[in-house]
């Protein structure tokens, strides 16, 4: 397929896709190198720009002490709100833990009532009553 398509009126139409692909074929490495250079420059200038912006904000706050006071109060309110949210989450977690312990206790009581006193939680080997060897069965050291 050619780059130029003839219109019925005699004018030519350039296919934009083939135009872009032709440009990339000719100058692709330059585009890649330019992009890499832009990323490098932005990464190098970003900290300096942030410092400049912070210095500008600080200067504005020094000129207007009411702004500085309002900023500090807003920061304090945000901290208090975060603290309240943390305390609420902690109380919820504590309540859920209590509910789990209560549910587990009830299940153990139900199991005890259902199967009797002999069906207490399963014992591991060697941890029950009557598992000790008689004294004379032990080797002498």
* pLDDT tens track for 48-88: 999 999 998 888 877 888 888 888 899 999 999 999 999 99
Please write down the HEC assignment for all residues of the chain.
CCCEEECCCCCEEECHHHHHHHHHHHHHHHHHHHHHHHHHHHHHHHHHHHHHHHHHHHHHHHHCHHHHHHHHHHHHHHHHHHHHHHHHHHHHHHHHHHHHHHHHHHHHHHHHHHHCHHHCCCCCCCCCCCCCCCHHHCCCC
In this prediction the pTM is 0.40
């Amino acid at each position: 397929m050619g780059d130029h398509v003839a219109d019925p009126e005699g004018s030519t139409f350039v296919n934009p896709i083939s135009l872009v692909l032709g440009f990339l074929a000719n100058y692709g490495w330059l585009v890649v190198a330019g992009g890499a250079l832009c990323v490098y420059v932005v990464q190098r200038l970003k900290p300096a720009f942030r410092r400049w912006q912070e210095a500008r904000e600080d200067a504005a706050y020094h000129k207007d002490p009411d702004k500085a006071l309002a900023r500090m109060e807003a920061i304090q309110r945000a901290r208090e709100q975060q603290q309240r949210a943390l305390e609420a989450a902690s109380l919820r977690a504590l309540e859920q833990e209590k509910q789990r312990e209560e549910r587990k206790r009830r299940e153990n009581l139900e199991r005890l009532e259902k199967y009797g006193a002999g069906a207490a939680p399963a014992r591991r080997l060697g941890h029950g009553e009557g598992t000790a060897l008689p004294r004379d069965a032990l080797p002498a050291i």
